[in-house]
Amino acid sequence: MLSVLRNRTYRHLFGAQVVALVGTGLATVALALLAYDLAGADAGAVLGTALAIKMVAYVAVAPVAGALAGRVPRRALMVATDLTRAGVALALPFVTQVWQVYLTVFLLQAASAAFTPTFQATIPQVLPAERDYTNALSMSRLAYDLESLFSPALAAVLLALVPYDWLFAGTTVGFLASAALVVSAVLPGAPRAERTGGAYRNAAFGSRLFRATPRLRALVALDLAVAAAGAIVFVNTVVVVRAHFHRPAGAVSLALGAYGAGSMLTALALPRVLARVSDRAVMLPAALALPAVLAATAAITAAAPGPAAWTALLAAWALIGAASSAVLTPGGRVIRRSATDADLPAAFAAQFSLSHSCWLLTYPLAGWLAAGAGLPVTALVLGAVAFAAALGATALWPRHDPDALPHVHTDLPAGHPHLAEARPAPAGAWSHDHRYVIDRDHHHWPQHA
C-alpha cells in the first residue's frame, strides 16, 4: 500500500491531506472549549447547531465548488481554500459571541467543502493505475481514522502546556502547511468539461449524473446505510458509555477507538480484497451487515450493563467501523468508473453533498430518538433505516455491471465524431458499444442495461 508514496505528487497531496486533517481535529477540540466559555451549560446546544451548520455548508457548497473546479486551476482552488481556512482559524481566538462561532464554522466548512472534492478528483489523474488508486483510497481512509485518534491526543498534550487559544494557531499552521504542500506538487493538467451553460447548470450536472447512473444511485443508498450506523456511534457513544454502562470518561475514547480500529484494519485489507472481487461484492454485503450489528446493539443496550455487555458493545462498534470502511473506501472507484476525467470534480462534489445530506438526516434522528425513546429503540430505528438503504442499493446496482454497454443513438446526426465506429441501426439510428458514462453525448442510461 505504501508504494504509492513513491509518487512525488501523490506524496505531497497526501501530506497536505494529513496536516489539514490534524489542523481540523485541533480546531474541533478548541471550538468545543470556546463554546463552553461563551455559553457555559448551553455549550451542547451551540455545538449541535454548529454541527448542523457544518452539514448545511457541505451540502450547499460542494456542488458549486465542483462546477468551479472544472473552470479554474485545481491547484489554485485548493490553495485558496487552505488559505481561507487558515485565515478563519487565525480569527477564532477573537470570537466573543455565539453568532460569530456559527459564522466562522460556516466559512471554515464551506472552504473544506470546496477543497475535499477537488482533492478527491485530482488523485485518479495522479494515480491512473487501478491498483495504485485503490491503495490511495485505503490510505485516505486510514488518514481519517488516525486523525480521529491522533488529534484529540495531540490536543490533550498541547492543552497541558498552553491555553486552548493556541490550538487555533496549530490549526492555522496545519492549513498553511497543506497549502505549501499543494503548491509544491506538480499536478497534471485537468481536462475541461465539454458541457456548456452557466454555473448553475454545471453545478447541477453532478446530481444529474447520480440520478442517471444506477451504480451511483446505489452509492447514495449505501451512504445512507453507513450514516444510519455511524450516527449512533458518533452521537450516542457518550450516552451509552456514561449513562448506560456508567463507565469513566476515558472509556468514551476506548469505544470510539474500537470503531476506528475496525475501520483501519478493513482499510488495510481492502487493496488485496478488491484485487480479487468487484466493488459491488464488497460493498453490498458490508452494508447488509450494518443493520444486523445495530440489532445486536439494541439487545446490548437493553441488557444489564455488565462486563460481557461492555465487551459486546466494543465488538459492535468495531464491526460498524469495519463495515463502514468496506462501504466507503471503494466509493471513489465507483465514481471513477462512472464519469469522464473532466467530470470527476462535479461527480465527487455531488457525492460529497449527497453523502452529507444522509448524515444531516441521521445525526438529529439519533439524538432525538435517544433522548425521547431510549437507546434500544434508537438502534432498532436506525437499523431499519440501514436495512432499507442496503436493500435499495442491492436493487439499484445491477448484478451484471460492465463498463462497456451496447446502446443506440437516435439524437446524433450521421458524421458526428462520436459515431466514427458506430453501425447503422433501424430508423436512422446508430449502434455501438464502449465505456458508458453520462456526458454530453449520453443523457440517459440504456434501458436494457
pLDDT tens digits, 343-391: 888 888 888 889 989 998 888 888 888 888 889 999 999 999 999 999 9
- What pTM did the predictor assign? 0.84
pLDDT at 202: 59
Tell whether 145 and 244 lie within a shared domain: no
> How far apart (Å, rounded) are the C-alpha atoms in residues 292 and 287?
10
218-268 pLDDT per residue, tens: 999 999 999 999 999 888 888 888 888 888 867 877 888 888 889 989 999
> pLDDT higher for 400 or 1?
400
Tens digit of each residue's pLDDT (9 = 90 or more) over 116-136: 888 888 888 888 888 888 888
Pair 239, 154 in one domain? no
Please identify, among 184, 204, 227, the residue that sits at the C-terminal boundary of a domain. 184
H-type helices in 249-306, by residue range? 250-274, 279-302
**Average pLDDT of the segment spanning 141-166:** 74
Does residue 414 lie in a domain region? no
Domain at 433, CATH number: 1.20.1250.20
Asked if the model's pLDDT at residue 173 lies above 70, the reply is yes
In a domain, 372, yes or no: yes
Q: Output the average pLDDT for the chain.
A: 85
Residue range of the domain that includes 16: 1-184
> CA separation (Å) from 259 to 40, 51, 319, 369?
30, 21, 7, 22
For residue 202, being part of any structural domain is answered with: no
The contacts of residue 253 (CB under 8 Å, 6+ apart) are 152
217 and 358 in a single domain? The answer is: yes
Helix axes 98-126, 344-373, angle to 10 degrees: 140
Q: Name which residue leads in pLDDT, 197 or 213.
A: 213
Residue type, 443: H
Are residues 176 and 305 part of one domain? no
Q: How far apart, in whole angstroms, are the C-alpha atoms of residue 213 and residue 208?
A: 9
Residue corresponding to grid cell 487552505: 82
Write down the pLDDT at residue 200. Answer: 53
Domain count, the chain: 2
Cα torsion for 5, 8, 14, 19, to the nearest 10°?
A: 120
Nearest to 135 by CA among 124, 119, 146: 124
Q: 199: how many CB neighbours lie within 10 A of its CB?
A: 11
Q: Which of 184, 205, 231 is the last residue of a domain?
A: 184
d(CA 134, CA 278): 12
Does residue 31 carry a pLDDT above 90? no
User: What local confidence, expressed as pLDDT, does residue 126 receive?
Assistant: 87
Helix 344-373 to helix 199-212 angle, to the nearest 10 degrees?
Answer: 70
